[in-house]
Amino acid sequence: MTSRHVLVLAALLATTPVVPAAAQDTIKIGSSLGLTGYGSITDGHWREGLELAVEALNAKGGVLGKKLQLVHEDNKSIPQQAVLVYRKMMTEDKVVAFDSGCISAGNFAAASFVTRAKLPMMLCSILPQQPEEQKWAFSFLPPPKFEVDSRYEFLKSKTDIRKVGILGDPSPYGSLMRKFALEDAKEFGLEVVANESYQQEDADFSVQIGRINAAGAGAIIMIGQGNAVITVAKNIKSLGLDKMLLLGSVNERDLLVEAGRVLGDRYLFPSPIIQVAIDDLALITDPKARAAAEAFITPLKAKHGGKIDTSMSSRAWDSLLMLAQAMEAAKTTEGTAVRDAFEKIGPYVGAGAPYEFSPTQHVGITKNPYVIAYVKDGKLAINHDGR
C-alpha cells in the first residue's frame, strides 16, 4: 500500500462514523411524547404500553432477528418542542418509524418532514390534516365522533335530559370533538344551549358552569382530558347543582375515580371495555378479544401492579405489535415497504380494540368501542340502567 493510499484510507476512516455491532442489531422506534405539560398522564401511559410491547417482542427474539429499541423524547406537550424532538430522533438516533403520543398539534407540526423522509407514523392522536401526510400516518385513537355519540346516546335512551352545555378545551382534538358535539345533537333529540371553553391551566370553572346552568342545561358535555375534570366536578358540587350530570371525556383511571368520588353516579364517561374489565376479564365476552386483553394485562400488572390504566397503554401495545408484524411481513424496516405491509394487515383483534386499517382507511378503529361507565366503590363499572 502506497503512502497515498494510506492517507486516503485514513481520511475515509476519519469521516465515516463507526457503528457499534450492537447498534447494527437494533431497530430503533421513535416516540414523541408529552411527558410533561398537560399531556403527561395520557402520554405516560402510552409510553408504558410501548415499553411493554418492546419487552414482549424482544423476549421472543425481536423483529427480523434484531432487538427493538424504543427511543422516546419529551415534547413537553408543546408543538414547537415536538418538532425539535422529531428532528433529533430522525437525524441523531436514526429511527426507522415513529409511534408517538396523543399531542395532536405536535404530531401535526412534524408530519410534513416525517412524510418527506418516508417514515411511518403510528399515532395516539388524530391524523394530520394534509392528504399526503395521512398516507404515512396511522391513528389508533377512536374517532372523536364515537366519544361524543356514546354520551349523547346515553342521554337519549337512559335519561329525560334534552338540553346540554358544552365545556371544552381548544386543542385540535377538542375542537374536532366540539364540532361533532354541535352537529350531532339534533340527531339524538338534544339541544346545545351553551358552548363554553376553558384553558388547561384554568383553576376554576364556576363562571362557565354557571352560564351553562342558567341556559337550562341538565348535563355538561366536557371535552378535554387531564386534571381539569376533577376541578369541574368540585365546582358543580360547590355550586349546589345537585341534579346536574357531568359527562366527561375518556380519561386516565385515577382521574376518573377521583372525579367519581366527588360527584358519585352523576359523573359518567365513555370508556373502552378493557379499562373497566381490568379487574374482571369476563366482562369481555368475545374470546379473541379477551385473549388479546389478557396477553397485555398480565405483563402490565406484573410490572406496574394493580393501580394501572389500560385505555391508552393497551392501544400503544397494539400499535407496536402491529408495526412489528408489518416489518416482518415486509422483511425490511424500509419505510415504504413497512407502510404498504401495514395497510395489508387486515382485521386485527387487539387488546385495546379491534382495528381495520387498509390503503384507504388509516383510522383503525371503525366501530364505536365505548361503554358508558361510572365509579362504584372506587372502581369503574358499566352503567346499564341510567339514573
Whole-angstrom Cα distance, residue 113 to residue 34? 20
Angle (CA) 95 66 21, round 5°: 80
Domain boundary among 216, 249, 282: 249
Reported as a single tens digit per residue, the pLDDT across 142-187 is 988 999 999 999 999 999 999 999 999 988 788 999 999 999 999 9
pTM: 0.82
Q: Is 325 contained in some domain?
A: yes
For residues 70 and 129, state if they share a domain: yes
Q: Using an 8 Å Cβ cutoff, are 28 and 71 in contact?
A: yes
- pLDDT-derived band at 24 (thresholds 50, 70, 90) equals low
Give me the mean pLDDT over the 333-348 stretch.
97
User: 125 with 160, same domain?
Assistant: no
In a domain, 262, yes or no: no
Instruction: Label the pairing between strands 121-123 and 97-100.
Output: parallel
**Span 25-46, average pLDDT:** 92
Domain of residue 92: give its range.
21-142+303-355
Q: Reply yes or no on whether the pLDDT at 218 is more than 90.
A: yes
In terms of domains, do 42 and 122 share one?
yes
Q: Mark whether 54 and 121 lie in a shared domain.
A: yes
pLDDT score at 306: 67
Residues 81 and 33 in one domain: yes
CATH code at position 333: 3.40.50.2300
* Confidence band of 284 (pLDDT split at 50, 70, 90): very high
Is the pLDDT confidence value at 22 over 70? no
Domain total of the chain: 2
In this prediction, residue 19 carries a pLDDT of 39
Does 110 share its domain with 154? no
